Every structure is written in structure tokens, then in C-alpha cells.
A and B are shown apart, each in its own frame.
Chain A
């Protein structure tokens, strides 16, 4: 496979950062040269362990995700029956969580756990970023920070979905969908904290805001808290859970949030640039891929034949 300029750049950077020696460089370049030109054939032919093959999330990120989602769901179940009190399900659900006297205590306690989880996350990100920068390993493309490339990737991916392209774009560790979701969740989290704080400390907000604006602020917060909660719950239920549980290739679930590992086929399909880095960082992955290319005769020469045979019936 001849790497695109972008992928080549990722490869060169990864080899430089990892101080890859000349022997390994030659090995990696040889291996990449042997990869089929059609990236799709690569992820279609690999063997993946359902619980994950390649490292993706550290234990900290997994703990933060766990804290956030457990608190988020419980917060939703204790909060929504109050906001939507006149709905048929509200009273039974409120009784189920112990009635108003219990649920409000649960809600406030878990809200502080959720805030802790957010602070833990921000602290961890800062720590890991500073540490990476000091080691010269920080790469903005590999981080969650959105770049122009994400907009281009989005467009190319949509073209692939509607059948106008035959390849998905080469995406990095975090693709456009994940960045969108991450920042939506971060924004939502802040909105919930801000609006929640305006319910628990209304006097504080009235005191710090200029007179005349406090009531408008409070009205906005009163609307924001349930609207944002409901939106978040719907996005989680209909989009996030679909993406990680129900989508083909992910069903019945991606184990990443527990094991921290991503399946090989998923990595190559949606995070190809990260896979290139995996090849540099993980000698065992090189070995695996090399064996696979041989066993399945996927290298370009063989690949041509495969394509021809595939084309014949058409």
C-alpha cells in the first residue's frame, strides 16, 4: 500500500517520537508496502478479539466514563420525575427511587460525584497533556481537539455512506463523531452544573448577577436543566448506545469502556491513522499483520489477483 501523504506524515512522526531504529523502520515500511491498496480488504480480513486487541483508553478514562454514566443515569432517573411530574411515568418512577425526600438527596449527592468525575477528567487531561508535551510526544491530531480535518472527514464519510466513495476517510484516534459527542457531553455537563447550581444556590446567582438579569438567568436555567437532561438522555439512548451496542460490527457491545481495548477491525476501519501508530508502537501487532498478509495473500501482487477474481463475476 502506498500511504497517503497524511498517513505517511503520521508514520514518520510516530517513528520519530518512538525513536524507531533503522532496522525497525525498514521492517515497518516493508510491512506497510505489503498491505493491500484497498484498506477495506485489510479490516475485512483481520481476526479480532471481541473484547479488544489494541490499546485505546487508560484506566483513568474508563473510571471517569463509569462514574459519569452511572451518575448521569441515576441523576436522570431521580430528576426527570420532578421536572416532568405530570407525565404518567413520573410518580411511579419517583416512588421507585424512594420518594421525593430520598430522591433529592440521591440527586444532589450524585451531582457532586459527577462534578468530581468532571474535575478528575480535566485534571487527568491536563496532567497527561503536560507530561506528553514535556516528553515531546503530544500530537494535536491524536487528541480530542477538533481540527479542520474532522469537517473534511465528515463529508467524505457521508459520501461513502451514500455510496459515492468506496473508502472511508483515514481517521485519527478520535473521529469526528467522537469529538462531536465528547464536546456535546462536556457542554451538557457544564450546562447541568450551572443550572443545577442555580437551583441549589439561587441566592448566590441573584447576588453576583447584575440586578434585572437574575430573573432572566433563572428562567433560562429552569428551562435548561430539564431540556438538556432530556436531550442528553435521548442522545445517549438513541445515538450513543446505538453506536456502541447496536450498530453492525459493534453488537452486542464494544468492550472498550471496560477493557480499554478496541477491536482490530474497528481500529483499521475508523481509526486507521492510529493503527499506523500501533504498528510502530507494538511489535507484536506488526508480527500479527505480517502473518495475516502472508496467510491471506493480501499483499499487493496477490491483491491484484484477488481483485481480478472478484471482478470476474461482474
Chain B
């Protein structure tokens, strides 16, 4: 018996890895552990269905059993999956520690559905261009903060919270939400730009809106390029964190994390960039902003259609600059030619620069 116990514990040590320790009560890994699990869809997309326990075990969903999300799987082997995981499903295994109810993303999901980006999991046509939850929430599998936990912090916590595993998990949970889930301003700009700078996508929506007689935001076609041109855009792209990024103006500041899922077009009275709300939105940063201030363009453009005033001013400025430089350099050249004709040289030596022979019949007396 002792030997069996010893071998069993040795095997456990060899094959267990804390990262792999996630619940597979339904035995999904029976099939999904195989690297060859996959297929090529009718559209020709290669889909891989392998689940790597070590990888999944380090994601934020590591404690959620497969069938809580893949709740359409009722039998094994299962039928063809049509819709896949919807992010508004309810976990039966995880409780919301605050309310004691089953955990779900439903509140934020519903908020998102009401926003201009709202869509179903499976969409065709123009709505397929909109982002679904996973477009932005990529469930990152690597969190550098989890790699090396700060010993001093964990040591301090276990003084009262005796269970070190609990503290480690708690630390990982919060550190990930504090840093990794929150994007930096330049990452936010990059995220929004992924779709909004896609010319073909933007063109599709502009055309459709025109056809349907729908109104689109004035800056919609040039949202990214004009922001990138702006002072906010430039310093944010350089990594400065205090200038406005997309969400600072387009999402309501109050209850920010909920409202970033509720982006609305500027024509919507709820939108913070609706003409009625602009002053208040500007005041989030520019506390002395007034009506006049709210008219300043945060998406400046020098295109003729976008801003004819700026377009012509820019051209005039360019010409004035070019003419000034050409005239001044021309004058300097003329001056050099004229003075050299009279015998000036490049170097002041022995007290004079006028050693060359003049073409005007008057030379320095040698």
C-alpha cells in the first residue's frame, strides 16, 4: 500500500501542473486534448478545436467549467455547433461573490446591445462589421504580473489570510483587472482604429447610410486620420496618457467601465459628443470650457471637403513659406556671386578676405 501511495504521489508530482488544474468534469478533454482536432469550414476557414489545458488554465476563465459557457452541448459526442458561446450566458458554477447570484456578463452585454456597436453573435451584412465581445476582449493568456508575484505583498497578506493559494489567486485576479484589462490610451486608440481606419469598411457604411437616407456622424469617414492629426492624437500616440483618447469623449465619464460599452452616435441625445452635451464633456478635462470652446474641432482635417478654411489656409501658408525661402536663398546666392566678382574669398587671412582678383579692376594692394 505504501508503495502504491508513493508511486501515486510521484505520478501526481510528475504530471500535475498548477496551471493545468481546471475542472474538466464533463470530460471534454477526452477529445479536445488532441492537436489534430479541427476542420476546414465551408468558407475555407481553418478551425482548431484543440484545448491546451496548460494554456486555458492560465486564462481568466480557468475556473469556469466548459459546459457553463458551451451550454448548448447536451450529449457526447455533440452535434455541430451553430452559434457557439454567447457572452450573456449564465454560469451555474460560479457565483457572483457580491450578490450570491450566478455569475453572468448579461448587464454589460445588454448595455452593449443598445449601443451603436450592438450586434448578435452571428451577424451577416453590415452588422458583421461591428465588434462582438471577443473583438476587444481577447482573454489574454499571459499576464507578466502573475509570473513573479511580489513576495513582500503576498507575505503581508498571508499574515491574516492564512491560505497562501487564496492570496496568490486573489492577487492574480486583481492585478490582471487593474493593469491588463484596462488598456492604455494609445492602446485604446489602436483598438478603435482597427475598424475605424479600415477604408473599405468605412466606405461600406457610408454608402449604405446614403442609400437608406440615414445620417452618419460628420467625422465618421475621417475619424481616425483626423484624430491622429490632432494634438490629442499625436501626444497620445507618443504614449502621453493625459490627453483625450477616443473613449474620453465618446463614452460617458460617469460609470466609465459600463459606458465604454455604450458608445452612441453624436446625433443621440445620450451621446457625450451630442452638441448639447459637448461643453460638459470638454469640461471633464478643460474645466473652464464654454460654448465657444466646445466648437474647437477635436478632429481637425485639412481636406477640402472636411474644412475648406483650413485647406486654403494651409495652401497659402505653404506657398508663403516656399516663396520666402526661395527669395532669401536666391538673394544670398546673388550676394555671393556679386561680392566674389569683386574679389572676396572664403577665409579671412592676414587680416583680409579680399585676396582674390577683382573683375572690376581694383585689387587689394599686395
Contact = CB atoms under 8 A, between A and B. Distances in A.
A265 B344 CA distance: 11
Contact of B340 (A211, A234, A248, A265): A248
15 contacts: A46-B352, A47-B350, A82-B234, A101-B239, A104-B240, A161-B337, A163-B338, A203-B288, A206-B293, A218-B296, A231-B320, A234-B321, A247-B339, A248-B344, A251-B348
Given A222-B300, A230-B321, A265-B354, A45 B364 contact: yes
A223 B310 contact: yes
Contact of A207 (B234, B288, B324, B341): B288
Interface stretch (A60-68, A119-127, A303-311): A303-311
Interface string A30-68: 000000001011011111111000000000000000000
Interface string B223-247: 0000000010011011110000000
Interface string B325-341: 10011011011111111
Interface string B296-330: 11001000000101100110011011001100110
A117 interface: no
B53 interface: no
Interface in A114-168: 157-158, 160-163, 166
A166 B343 CA distance: 12
A189 interface: no
Contact of A203 (B231, B286, B364): B286
A296 interface: yes
Interface in A61-106: 82-83, 85, 94, 99-101, 104
B237 A215 contact: no
Interface stretch (B170-178, B208-216, B355-363): B355-363
Given A45-B365, A161-B337, A215-B297, A238 B328 contact: yes
B131 interface: no
A283 interface: no
Interface of A: 38, 40-41, 43-50, 82-83, 85, 94, 99-101, 104, 157-158, 160-163, 166, 177, 199, 202-204, 206-207, 209-212, 214-216, 218-220, 222-224, 227, 230-231, 234-235, 238-239, 242-243, 247-249, 251, 263, 265, 296-298, 306-307, 310-311, 314
B325 A234 contact: yes
Given A47-B350, A206-B296, A214-B295, 5 more contacts: A44-B363, A206-B289, A220-B313, A248-B336, A265-B354
B364 A231 contact: no
Contact of A204 (B288, B338, B342, B360): B288
Contacts of B292: 206-207, 209-212, 214-215
Contacts of A227: 317-318, 321
A283 to B, nearest CB: 21
B325 A231 contact: yes
A46 B365 CA distance: 10
Contacts of A83: 234
Given A223-B310, A248-B336, A249-B345, A306 B351 contact: no
A235 B292 CA distance: 36
Contacts of A162: 334, 338
Given A38-B362, A223-B310, A247-B335, A48 B238 contact: no
Contacts of A48: 348, 351-353
* Interface size, B (range): 35 or more
Contacts, number: 175
A73 to B, nearest CB: 18
Question: Which interface residue of B296, B307, B361 has the most chain A CB atoms within 10 A?
Answer: B296
Contacts of B309: 216, 219
Centre residue among B291, B292, B313, B318 by max chain A CB count within 10 A: B292
B313 A202 contact: no
A234 B287 CA distance: 38
Among B313, B343, B353: residue with most chain A CB under 10 A: B353
B346 interface: yes
Contacts of B237: 85
A238 B329 contact: yes
B317 A100 contact: no
Contacts of A248: 336, 339-340, 344-346, 353
Contacts of A206: 289-290, 292-293, 295-296
